[in-house]
Amino acid sequence: MPPSPIPTEPRKQPRQARSRATVEALLEATAQVLVAHDYKGSTTARIAERAGVSIGSLYQYFPNLESLVAALVDRHAQGLLKVMDRALEGDEAASLKDGLRALIHAGLDMQRLDPALHRVLMEQLPNVDRLRRARDTSRRLTGLIEAFLCRHASQLAAGREPALAAVVVETSLEAVAHRAVSDYPSAPEQQRLQDELYDLLLNYLTGPSIG
């Protein structure tokens, strides 16, 4: 049985400044409650209370709880893509090595945008139908990396296909960065893991392709 198609479209657009603030407060409150109570403990009442807004107001802009989370996911994904895009399109990505540095830095920044929220969203993402859009985000991220690799194809190891390598790079980058940020909070530790990440990715991209 496929999960029932829960509508996640916003109910009505806020037109005045007052209501825009309400919506903003609701989104912020959703993030906070989600972090504090996880998805199952996040109730509409709690969110409204945290936002300093009545339940009724919540339901004026969001048809249900899921739509709130979906909106949050969208916003967060937007932020992630922006971070990565800036890192790879700028001048810092002129060489493969510099680009890799920037890439890793961006990967860590993405985790640091709002680590706790990031975590909950990633966990709860499958519940929200907006999963597809999140996959999109992941794919677009991989796309950005692939384009970057193609730009430096000459420096890649023979037999290293950019499309496949981009998947590997994106996946391991995200995982190690996530672990670094959430399990190794101290700055020196994070720095060491960052260096390891550089070794990992550079040796993979330029080292021998054994198969």
Partner DNA sequence: AAATTATGCGAGTGTTTCCTCATATTTCCC
Partner DNA sequence: GGGAAATATGAGGAAACACTCGCATAATTT
Tokens 């496949």, residue?
164
Residue carrying the six token digits 């509508």: 7
Closest by Cα among 89, 81, 86, 80 to 151: 89
Q: Minimum distance between the CB of residue 31 and its own copies, rounded to whole angstroms? A: 16
Site string for DNA, 37-66 (x = CB under 7 A): ----xxxxx-------xxxxx-xx--xxx-
Residue 15 touches DNA, criterion: CB under 7 A: yes
How many alpha carbons lie under 13 Å from residue 95 in its C-beta half-sphere?
Answer: 4
Displacement of CA 60 from its chain's centroid (Å): 28
Q: Does 202 bind its own copies (CB under 8 A)?
A: yes
Q: Of 31, 26, 127, which is closest to residue 79 (Cα–Cα)?
A: 31
Q: Report residue 128 as tokens.
A: 């929200």
Nearer to its own copies, 23 or 166 (CB): 166
Closest CA to 103 of 168, 58, 55, 43: 168
Q: Which of residues 64-103 bind its own copies (CB under 8 A)?
A: none
Quick one: 24 or 195, whose CB is closer to its own copies? 195
Q: Which does 126 bind (CB under 5 to 8 A by kind): DNA, its own copies, none?
A: its own copies
- How many residues belong to the chain? 211
Judged by the rule CB under 8 A, the positions of this chain that interact with its own copies are 1, 3, 36-41, 119-120, 123-124, 126-127, 164-165, 167-168, 171-172, 174-176, 179, 192-193, 195-200, 202-204, 207-211
Binding site for DNA (CB under 7 A): 12, 14-19, 21-22, 41-45, 53-57, 59-60, 63-65
